[in-house]
Every structure is written in C-alpha cells, then in structure tokens.
Structure 1
Amino acid sequence: MTIRTVLWGQPRKDGTAAVKVYVNLNGVVRYFMVDGIYIESKFWDKNKQVVKSKHPNARLYNAKIRARKIALEEHFLNGGTFENFLKSSKSKLLTEALEEYITLNKGEYSAGTAKAYRNTISRVRQFEKHYSIKSYIKDIDEKWVADFVTYMKKMGFVKATTAYHLGRVKKAIMHQRVDNPHVEKIKHKQGRARPKPFLTPNEIAQIEKTPDSELSKAQYIVRDFFLLAYYLLLRDSDVTAISKSNFIEKNSKVFYVGTNKKTKTQVIVPVSAKAKTILQRYDYDCSRYTNSYRNKCIRRVAEIAGISTLVEDGDELVPKWKLVSMHTARRSAATNLDMQGMSQHGIKMLGGWKNLASLAVYFRSGNMDIAEKAQKFDHFK
C-alpha cells in the first residue's frame, strides 16, 4: 500500500488547486479530497508533501492533511476497502454536504451563485420539516426526488426552479465522492422554457418616447435604467454596480469599461449621448430598487408604451409587454445589433459573453427578420 499527498494537477479558474491523498492499494488507485484546502502551486512542497510555511494557513492545512492521511492509513491497515471507506461518508446530512460545497467553492462562485445554493438549503430544510424527516446522502434516491418534486409543486414552484435545486443537490453529493447508485436519477425535466422576447428598435423607441407624465417616479427611473442596459448591453446586476470609475475618455469619446459579474470578462462599450445623459442624471449611481421591483416597473412601462404585439406564452398568445423584464434590454440589444449586421464576435466582445454558443441563445429574431437581412447578400440577388 502506498499513500502520499499531492496537489491536483487541474487548477480552478482562480489558479488554486485541490490537495488530495493518493492511495495505491494492490494496484488500485484512488484519490481522496482533503476538504477545504485549495492553494496555488507556489505554496506546495512536492517533496515534503505539505503546504509551505509561507502560506498564511499552513499550520491548519497541514494538520488537516495529516489527519486525513492517518484516517486513511488506519482504515486500510485494519483491512478496510475503498468501498466501505466511501460508504462511511454516506451518513452525512444533505444540508451539510451543500454547506460544504458552498465553502469549498467560495473563491470560484459569485455571490449570486452562493446565494442560489443557500436557497436550495432552505428549500431542503422546508421539505424536511413538511415531511418530518432528515435527508441523509444515503437516502437520496428516486423516491426522495419524487417526494421533493411533489412538495415543490404543492408550494407553487415551477419545474425549472425544482430542476435547478436538484442540480445543486446532485453536485453536492457527487463532491462527496460517495458511491450513490441513484445519483444520475437526481434530476427533473424542466419542460418547455418560457419564451424570452426581444424588443425591436421601434419598440425601444416607443419606450423612450413614452410621456413622462404617464409614468410614476419609480417607473421613470426604472425606464432609464432599462434603456441604459440596452445602450450598453449590460445585465441589470452590472447596471446596478456602475460607478464613475467605469468610464474613460479616449479621442473625445467616452467608453464604459467594466467586468461582467457573471462571466468575469472585461467589456469596453462606446457610450452614446443618450446613455451619457442618463448617467449624468443619476450621478452615475444606478443602484436604486431591487431587480424584482425593477422587473415589475418595466413591465408596466412596456404596457403603457403600447408594446402589445401578440407572442406565445405556453399555449396562449399574450401581449409582449407581459413578458418584458430588465434582461430584455440586453437580449434586445444583442438581437438588434445582429440584425443590423454587426459580427457576432463583435457583439460577444461588447457584451462579455464567454463564447458564441452562449451568445446564440440571446438572438430572438424570426424567420422573416433573417430573410430580410439576407437580401443584401449576392446569393439572393
């Protein structure tokens, strides 16, 4: 039997990598996580198999490493196997596994993602309270999933929300490295996604020209924030985070320079005169109101503006304004730029999408739009 500690060779996005214990038992190799330890390669002493003393948490991390190695050595020297060592982790509560998963990925996940995982913990606890049960990893099977789905439906949550929670449950369980034969069954079909419309340039103009007298103060402000998101191709969360430091001037032209919160990519976007006017109106502070309240306001603004083209919503047709949200601004900007002939690579760079596949889901133009755009090509002349 051979046991040693290694720094995992596949670093995370932040440059840190996991510390694992390598075990070779009669030619069978397995790696075991040392929970909570992620470090840069410069802090790892490969020869001594320890965290270098210059790391601020060296003593704590090395104590954890020693404890993990001792536990593994005792287990296998006492005749234990890989299978029954892994099974010993199955008694952990699901909520504990989720908490651990959040902690181990806190350097990788955004505040929004961490919050989403905490929402899942809350839902699991509510589910457990409703049925007077405790959910251990060993108990998570198809029946548990079916009960959870039934509970979520009873509480009025849509399929997509249930699917997202189950996806997080699955990730947390897989992180525990337990041999759970039911792990692939932890899923829920989301069903048909709700349509996500875009606004044409004419419809954007309708919102721009809606008389101020017809809007409440909050609706007026939210309309400005929506238009700013459209002009700069930003998510609402990025609009909220805007400050004066995000703007530079070059050759008498103002540019927005920021880091996309979701993808962590830098974006540089020309600032139009309309966008500049809005920014100055609020002294570059666009943080007012929550996202849910903004969505409610902009939906009402779209109704007042007469955005009433009928679009599909499930099995019925509804006025487009009913499906408008703050994110419609970003989707509309991407689609309209594409229809005006800008390269998709250029749109990707401006909006901070990670790749063209991610951008493609934003394009909402219809067949006629594409056909009209195609007329300029020689192939159709």
Structure 2
Amino acid sequence: MTTKLKTLKGVNINFNLRQQKPANKQTSIHCILRYNKQRVIIYDIEKTEPRNWNNKSQLVRGNQRARNGQNINDFLKDRKLAFDKIFADYVKAHNKYPDPAYLKEQCLKVVNNELTEDSKAVTDLIEFIESFIAETKTGVRLNPSTGKPMTPETIRIYANVLDSIKDFKSAKRFNTSLDNITLDFYGEYTDYLKFEKKFATNSIAKYIKNIKTFMHDARDRGFTANDQFKSKRFKVITEETDTIYLNTEELESMYALDLSDKPRLERVRDLFLVGCWSGLRFSDYKDISAKDIDGDFMTIKALKTQKEVVIPIHSTIKSIMTRYQGKTNNSLPPTISNVKMNEYLKEVAEEAKLNEIIQLKYTKAGKTVVKNSPKFKLITTHTARRSFATNMYLMGVPSITIMAITGHRTEKSFMRYIRVTPAEHANKLKELWNSKPASMKLLG
C-alpha cells in the first residue's frame, strides 16, 4: 500500500564531528540524514578542528584560527541544500520515501561532484546495469546482506548478464528500456538463451535472478514504475542436477596416494582434502592463515557471507599440516588458482581410480540431455564442500550443526544441496534401528 503524499515528512539533516578531542587536531565532519526511522550517514564531508566547531549551529566558528571557516560553511550549506533537494524531488516524483542505499549513493555523487543530468535519467536496462556494475566495483554499492563490498565473482556474473542482454538486443532488435522489461521480454530473452545460446536451465535461472535484482533496484530508485518482473510468470526456473560428492572411502583412497614424485598433484590433493574435511568454500580454504588456527580448532570469516564459523580440525587435516610444518606459514599446502586446481584435481582423482560412470541428466536448449562420464572428470573444488556436507549427514551429525559450518539458512536448501541416494538413506535408517536397545527395536 502506497503512503499518501500528505503523510510523508521531510528529512532532518545534521552535521557532526567524528570526535571532539584533541581540540587542536583536525577531525572529519559527518552528515547524518534522518527520515521515517531511517538513518543515512555521509562520512568525511569536510575537516576542521573541534575548537573551531559550533555544535549548536553545526558550522565553523567565525574566528581567526578558522581561516577557511567561511569556505567550509558555504560548502556544508550547499551540500545540505543539495541533499534536501534530492530527498524532496524523490518524494514528490514517487510518492514514497527513498531507499536509504539510493539516497546515500545520490548524496555521495553530490559530494564527489558526480551528480549530472545523465546520471539521473537512466531509462535503459543496459545503461542501468553498466552503472550498477561501476558502483559495485568502486564500493558505492555494497552487499545488502553483509554491508561489505561485492566479490569479484559476483561482479563477473553481472558482467556476463550485461553482455548477454547486449547480444540479445542486437540479435532481436529488442527495446531494452526499463519500462519494456515485461513478460514479453522474459519470454523472448529466455527463449534466446535456451535455443540460440544453448544455455542449460540452471544457467538461465542465474541470469533471470540477476535481472530481477537489477529491476528491483531500478524501481526502488525511481527510474521506472514497471513491476512486471515481480509477476509469478517472470520466474526463476531451476532443476536438480546430479552433482557428485566423494564418500569417505574415496577420500581415503585419494589420501593414500603416494604423490611424492609429483609435488604439483600432491599439494592440490592435500588442499582439496582440507576442503573435504572443513566444509569451507574454495575461496576460504585456500586462504586459511596461521592466526585462524588455534589448537584443535580453526576460526574462519567466510568471504561470501562475512560470517564467522568455528570448525574442529579433522585428523586428516592435522596429518596434512604435519607434512607442511615449517614449509608454509599456516602449515597447510600453498594456494593455487581455481582454474589450475580444477584441472589438476581430475588428474589426482584419475590416479585414485575414481572411475565410476556417472549419468548426468539436465535440460539444455529445451531438450533433456543424458551424459555418461567417469567420476574423476566431474570433480571440482566445490566437490570438497558438498562431500563434507553429505558425509557429515551420513555420519549422523545433526543438520543444524552442519549448516552452521556450510552456511545454509534452511534445512530445505541444505537437503537439496547434499547428495544422498535412496540406498544410502535406507542404510542410514537401518543403522539407526540397529543402534537402538533391543527393547526399542520392537517399536520400530
């Protein structure tokens, strides 16, 4: 429900010093905008000495010590007027309060003299995504969940979506204005990705998910009133794929390999096993530092979520650390790029004779594709994390404990993530029954 215009109030703008002491040392002037129980802070607008600052007027005192005081005051007054105008113009145009992230972004452009008519009048999706990416790279736009900068991988995905829309526009002569990202666009664009670009269903899903993100932001910022992207028909369609995991016996066979004459493969194998017994993403287990390790535990701040997790160090990892003690700062294998790691992992797995034929089934170009491949060809760095989650589940570790390490928010998403066959589920249930006292077995 849209708030009526007459109920919308203005913004309260104040300037404060970062600190009051020492009185003769310059400190930053911050601007705080308050409205509708929201608060936006614009840091480091100017600098002055606390002894020259008037807290009541929120301006620099007119004295001889503050030689450039008038210039600072003029600057602050100009910025206050500009910030107030941005807020008022948005409320007048959209009959609602601006999103705090948008308001901060526009105010920062004023501070940095970047606010131009062109930046206000974004009407095309391609133009908007280009701006979205630029702001993400510079840190103006942060991850809304963590408040931290977006990862390079996320920016790369944004760029891929942008390129695909440019190609689509050129190939189909489609009008990609923000107002034209409708259900018609959805149908034509997904057909283009499916039949002409030969994308798999889950790849298309990732692109649509990001387009919905862009459109949400564009609408929140008042660049369009179009909301067809919210329709149930403008949906992200995914399918379950037969992603593999390695069971404990397979991990043991990899660990038992003698790769002393192949140091390139040995360190890749060891680094992979660290991931298999820690549950960390590759971006995290490749960069464990010595300070993260304390006795029998490691404490890691996940790069993707910025959440801290504490993980007990498995005996396999301890054994690996013994091998590298004194050779590396963290007593763990040296890091390697994701691309090379994935390439060498397949060699390691082949040496371990992980030759089981895996049948993969997925949808591509609108058709069901069935492909048979030896298991060693399918192993990647992410197999480590999935192996950890699945093996821990089969060992009887409570889902909530595993999820605390893997970062899954719901048990539903966790159960989709792990790879447990019907036979493994049956064996797990049988083991549970056999572990019960004899008197309870009669009950089930």
TM over 0.5: yes
Question: Which residue does 2:248 correspond to in 1?
Answer: 201
Question: Which residue does 1:98 correspond to in 2?
Answer: 129
Q: Is the 8 A contact 2:270 2:333 kept in 1?
A: no
Shift in Å, 1:47: 10
Superimposed CA distance per residue, residues 40-74 of structure 1 (whole angstroms, 9 cap, x where no aligned partner)? xx94445999967x843595586244234146548
* Secondary structure of the corresponding residue to residue 212 of structure 1: coil
Output the aligned Cα RMSD.
Answer: 3.6
Q: Is the 8 A contact 1:236 1:326 kept in 2?
A: yes
Shift in Å, 1:92: 0.9
2:315, 2:371 → 1: CA distance?
Answer: 40
**Residues 321 and 48 from structure 1, CA distance in 2 versus in 1: closer, same or farther, beyond 3 angstroms?**
closer
Of residues 258, 267, 277, the one that matches 1:231 is: 277
1:179 aligns with 2:225: yes
- Give the letter for the 1:56 counterpart: D
Q: Is the 8 A contact 1:51 1:61 kept in 2?
A: no
- Give the letter for the 1:329 counterpart: A
Question: Which residue does 1:66 correspond to in 2?
Answer: 85
- Deviates most, 145-154 or 239-248: 145-154
Identify unmatched segments of 5+ residues in structure 1: 8-41, 77-88
Shift in Å, 1:224: 1.3
Q: Is the 8 A contact 1:93 1:137 kept in 2?
A: yes
Q: Is the 8 A contact 2:179 2:225 kept in 1?
A: no
- Give the letter for the 2:268 counterpart: V
Shift in Å, 1:247: 0.8
Shift in Å, 1:236: 0.9
Q: Is the 8 A contact 2:286 2:336 kept in 1?
A: no
Question: Which residue does 2:418 correspond to in 1?
Answer: 363
Question: Which residue does 2:99 correspond to in 1?
Answer: none
Residues 1-381 of structure 1 mapped to structure 2, 5 A cutoff: 2=6, 3-5=8-10, 43-45=32-34, 55-57=43-45, 63-70=82-89, 73=92, 92-101=123-132, 103=135, 105-108=141-144, 110-111=150-151, 112-131=153-172, 135-153=176-194, 154-177=196-219, 178-180=224-226, 182-183=228-229, 184=231, 185-187=233-235, 189-190=237-238, 192-212=239-259, 216-249=262-295, 254-279=296-321, 281=324, 283=328, 284=330, 288-314=335-361, 315-375=370-430, 376-377=432-433, 378=436, 380=441
Shift in Å, 1:204: 0.8
Q: Is the 8 A contact 1:263 1:354 kept in 2?
A: no
Question: Which residue does 2:111 correspond to in 1?
Answer: none
Q: Is the 8 A contact 1:263 1:353 kept in 2?
A: no
1:48, 1:323 → 2: CA distance?
Answer: 51
Q: Is the 8 A contact 1:310 1:320 kept in 2?
A: yes
Count of residue correspondences: 328
**Residues 48 and 380 from structure 1, CA distance in 2 versus in 1: closer, same or farther, beyond 3 angstroms?**
closer
- Give the letter for the 2:129 counterpart: L
Shift in Å, 1:232: 1.4
Larger radius of gyration: 2
1:344, 1:74 → 2: CA distance?
Answer: 49
Superimposed CA distance per residue, residues 102-157 of structure 1 (whole angstroms, 9 cap, x where no aligned partner)? 54642436313333223322332343344566621122234433443344343443
- Give the letter for the 1:366 counterpart: T
Identity %: 22
Shift in Å, 1:340: 1.8
* Secondary structure of the corresponding residue to residue 312 of structure 1: strand
Shift in Å, 1:331: 1.5
1:75, 1:268 → 2: CA distance?
Answer: 46
2:92, 2:426 → 1: CA distance?
Answer: 68
Shift in Å, 1:366: 2.0
**Residues 322 and 48 from structure 1, CA distance in 2 versus in 1: closer, same or farther, beyond 3 angstroms?**
closer
Identify unmatched segments of 5+ residues in structure 2: 13-30, 47-75, 96-119, 362-369
- Deviates most, 229-238 or 95-104: 95-104
* Secondary structure of the corresponding residue to residue 56 of structure 1: strand
2:385, 2:125 → 1: CA distance?
Answer: 37
Using the size of structure 2 for normalisation, the TM-score is 0.63
* Secondary structure of the corresponding residue to residue 232 of structure 1: coil
Superimposed CA distance per residue, residues 296-337 of structure 1 (whole angstroms, 9 cap, x where no aligned partner)? 321232222111233331134433223322111121122222
Shift in Å, 1:171: 2.0
1:48, 1:230 → 2: CA distance?
Answer: 46
- Deviates most, 235-244 or 272-281: 272-281
* Secondary structure of the corresponding residue to residue 277 of structure 2: helix
